[in-house]
Amino acid sequence: MTSPASQARRREVIAALRRGTVPESGLDQFAVGLDRFSVAMDEELDTVAKGGATFHAIRGEYGSGKTFFARWLAERAKRAGLATSEIQISETETPLHRLETVYRRLTERLSTPTHRPSALGPVIDSWFYILEEEVLEAGEVAEDDEQGLSDAVDVLLEQRLAAVARTTPAFAAALRGYRRARLTGDAATAEALIAWLGGQKSVAASARSAAGVRGDLDHFGALGFLQGLLAVLKDCGHRGLLVVLDEIETLQRVRGDVREKGLNALRQLLDEIDAGRFPGLFLVITGTPAFFDGQQGVQRLPPLAQRLATDFTTDPRFDSPRAVQLRLQGFDLDRLAELGRNIRQLYVTGARNPDRVQSTVDDDYTAVLATAITGELGGKVGVAPRIFLRKLVDVLDRVDDHDDFDPRRDYPLTVSSSELNEIERNAAASAGDVDLDLP
């Protein structure tokens, strides 16, 4: 574990585990097994911060920690000065073959070290402030010359977005329109244009007309808007952008022609990264081994399969953390118990009765609980972490709240089908409630 978390972050982590979800932040406080990636990922973040671009695919079975890894990496990215965005790929809400939808989700989930999602508006406002400061520092325009300042900022805007304007002039046009609306006090138009820049649909025609742009963002314009966003982020002090496309294996469940379009969209993104179109972009995708190796996934598109090819025939201990695909090992019982101990220690830092929590939920009990939960999920340790941590926090809460509560005596643990997700239910020994006897 790293240095102690603030009480606010501790509460966020424990509350997320209590709900059975992966915390948005604070993961470095209890991460297990990710140290081997730290140096390589920090080097990649440094490359991106210096204007490069990179890509990694994170592979692992359900429960191996793909989403955990992505959020752990996002925290490191923010500490390195990058903005981040995590996108859940979905066959209905965020299909990969509709890049305009992916971009829209990206802006909705955009966050920075100082702003939670969506940070698009604050980022753009910060950018215009910096452009104005640069103009004034040049000394060619007086601070009280509003028109001269506005014209000079427009010129600087065009210079900074020259590469973007060659393929997507609407991005710069919408930014100019947004600034005019802000200067004239037209808040409705300004808000509408921020929405349009974020890829939102059904933006008022009057707002689009005021900026001289037409229609909604389409698949082909999305990459240009991403290029523009990267330029704006870089200009206002953010050293790059980490984008995570999570659960990309959902492509395997869609119709064949839609799957091929999604795979081709991913190939296109990787080609553009290699071509240098997106300086400052760190793209990460997560998926199951079946997606990367099976005929209903990456292997269906040979050019993409070639780009992602990674040799996993050696012992996992010797995997390179710099490979295109990074293999997550998942949990065994020892690592699951270690994870439980880390959570207990984090919990204790804000407990009402820390000594009692520490002594009652000791290492032996944590290991027994991990074993019991795993046993009721068919012995599949990889499926157990979510429900194990949820039950562990429940026990910690009861011990902390009730002086006479003894989990070995008073906690006849049950795992109800209703609290399991589909994969966990499939792994469970029974679909009904199961009593677990803890020694």
Q: What is the pLDDT of residues 24-62, one digit of tens each?
A: 877 877 888 889 999 999 999 999 999 999 999 999 988
Number of domains in the chain: 3
Q: Say whether both 344 and 414 belong to one domain.
A: yes
> What pLDDT does 431 receive?
37
Q: Is the predicted pLDDT of residue 3 greater than 70, yes or no?
A: no
User: Mean pLDDT across the stretch 116-142?
Assistant: 91
Q: How confident is the model at residue 386 (pLDDT cuts 50, 70, 90)?
A: confident
Regarding predicted confidence, which is higher, 376 or 118? 118
Where among 159, 191, 223 does a domain terminate? 223
Q: Say whether both 125 and 91 belong to one domain.
A: no
Contacts of range 391-396, beta carbons closer than 8 Å, 24 or more positions apart: 391/415, 392/17, 392/340, 392/343, 392/344, 392/361, 392/366, 393/14, 393/17, 393/18, 393/343, 393/347, 394/18, 395/361, 395/369, 396/343, 396/344, 396/347, 396/351, 396/357, 396/361
**CA-CA distances (angstroms) from residue 95 to 21, 74, 303, 361?**
23, 22, 21, 44
Residue 64 lies in domain: 33-112+238-327
Per DSSP, the residues of 290-328 read HHHHSTTTGGGSHHHHHHH-----S-GGG--TTSSEEE-
Q: Say whether both 125 and 181 belong to one domain.
A: yes
Q: Say whether both 299 and 352 belong to one domain.
A: no
401: in domain: yes
Per DSSP, the residues of 1-54 read --SPPPHHHHHHHHHHHHHTS--SS-GGGT--S-HHHHHHHHHHHHHHHTT--E
Q: Say whether both 130 and 165 belong to one domain.
A: yes
Where among 327, 355, 370 does a domain terminate? 327
CB 403 within 8 A of CB 410: no
Distance, in Å, from the CA atom of 310 to the CA atom of 306, rounded to the nearest integer, reads 9
Q: Say whether both 135 and 218 belong to one domain.
A: yes
For residue 431, the tally of other CB atoms under 10 A from its CB is 11
Q: Say whether both 250 and 106 belong to one domain.
A: yes
Q: Say whether both 362 and 390 belong to one domain.
A: yes
290: in domain: yes
Q: Say whether both 130 and 197 belong to one domain.
A: yes
CB 255 within 8 A of CB 203: no
Q: Say whether both 350 and 400 belong to one domain.
A: yes
User: Mean pLDDT across the stretch 117-140?
Assistant: 92
134: in domain: yes
Sequence-distant (6+) residues with CB within 8 A of 237 are: 81, 126, 130
> What pLDDT does 4 receive?
58
For residue 109, the tally of other CB atoms under 10 A from its CB is 18
> What pLDDT does 387 receive?
87
Q: Is the predicted pLDDT of residue 438 greater than 80, yes or no?
A: no
Q: 356: which 2 tokens?
A: 């009692």
CA nearest neighbour of 260 among 54, 95, 93: 95
91: in domain: yes
CA nearest neighbour of 9 among 321, 347, 235, 340: 347
- The CATH number of residue 249's host domain is 3.40.50.300
14: in domain: no
Q: How many residues does the chain have?
A: 439
Regarding predicted confidence, which is higher, 142 or 54? 54
> What pLDDT does 264 receive?
96
Q: Say whether both 315 and 341 belong to one domain.
A: no
Residues 208-221 as b or e (16 or more Cβ within 10 Å = b): bebbebeeebebeb
Sequence-distant (6+) residues with CB within 8 A of 67 are: 22, 246, 247, 286
Residues forming beta bridges with residue 284, ordered by sequence position: 56, 244
Give the HSE-up count for residue 285: Cα atoms under 13 Å, Cβ half-sphere.
Answer: 25
Distance, in Å, from the CA atom of 356 to the CA atom of 337, rounded to the nearest integer, reads 19
4: in domain: no
pTM of the model: 0.87
68: in domain: yes
pLDDT tens column, 143-167: 888 888 888 998 999 899 988 888 8
Q: 181: which 2 tokens?
A: 């609306």
Cα angle 116, 120, 121; round to 5: 100
> What pLDDT does 140 receive?
82
Where among 273, 308, 327 does a domain terminate? 327
CB 280 within 8 A of CB 84: no
Beta strands 241-246 and 281-287 are parallel
CB 377 within 8 A of CB 424: yes
Q: Say whether both 157 and 180 belong to one domain.
A: yes
First to last CA, the chain: 29
13: in domain: no
% pLDDT > 70, the chain: 96
Distance, in Å, from the CA atom of 160 to the CA atom of 162, rounded to the nearest integer, reads 6
